[in-house]
């Protein structure tokens, strides 16, 4: 039986996968920003703005589910 192929959940209006991925990567985003801006007290705010921008552009992302 052939695989149904990649699924873009955002096309279906289901944001749960995107939210899960964004949540699971928050630490990595914060860590990356800390390497770019060590000791900057604004890092948490920048990470928050990054999350907001990613959320606003979530329909531009393609989430592919692999078998």
pLDDT digits (tens, 9 = 90+) for 17-59: 888 889 999 999 999 999 999 999 999 999 999 999 999 998 8
pTM of the full predicted structure? 0.68
As for how many domains the chain has, the answer is 1
Range of the domain at 52: 14-60
d(CA 54, CA 56): 5
Q: What pLDDT shows up at residue 10?
A: 46
Q: CA-CA distances (angstroms) from residue 38 to 31, 34, 43?
A: 10, 5, 8
In a domain, 65, yes or no: no
Phi/psi zone of residue 7: left (φ > 0), alpha (ψ -120 to 50 degrees), beta?
A: beta
7 within domain boundaries? no
Q: Kindly state whether residue 5 falls inside one of the protein's structural domains.
A: no
Is pLDDT above 60 for 4? no
Q: Please report whether residue 3 resides in a domain.
A: no
Local structure of 65: helix, strand or coil: coil
Residue 66: band (very low, low, confident or very high) from pLDDT cuts 50, 70, 90: confident
Q: What is the pLDDT of residue 13?
A: 56
Does 4 fall in a domain? no
CA distances from 3 to 8, 57, 65, 66, 67 (A): 15, 28, 11, 10, 8
Asked whether residue 50 is assigned to any structural domain, the reply reads yes
């Amino acid at each position: 039986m052939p695989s149904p192929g990649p699924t873009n959940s955002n096309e279906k209006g289901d944001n749960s996968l995107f939210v899960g991925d964004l949540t699971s990567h928050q630490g990595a985003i914060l860590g990356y920003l800390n390497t770019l801006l060590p000791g900057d007290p604004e890092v948490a705010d920048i990470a928050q703005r990054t999350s907001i921008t990613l959320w606003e552009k979530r329909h531009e992302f393609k989430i592919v589910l692999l078998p």
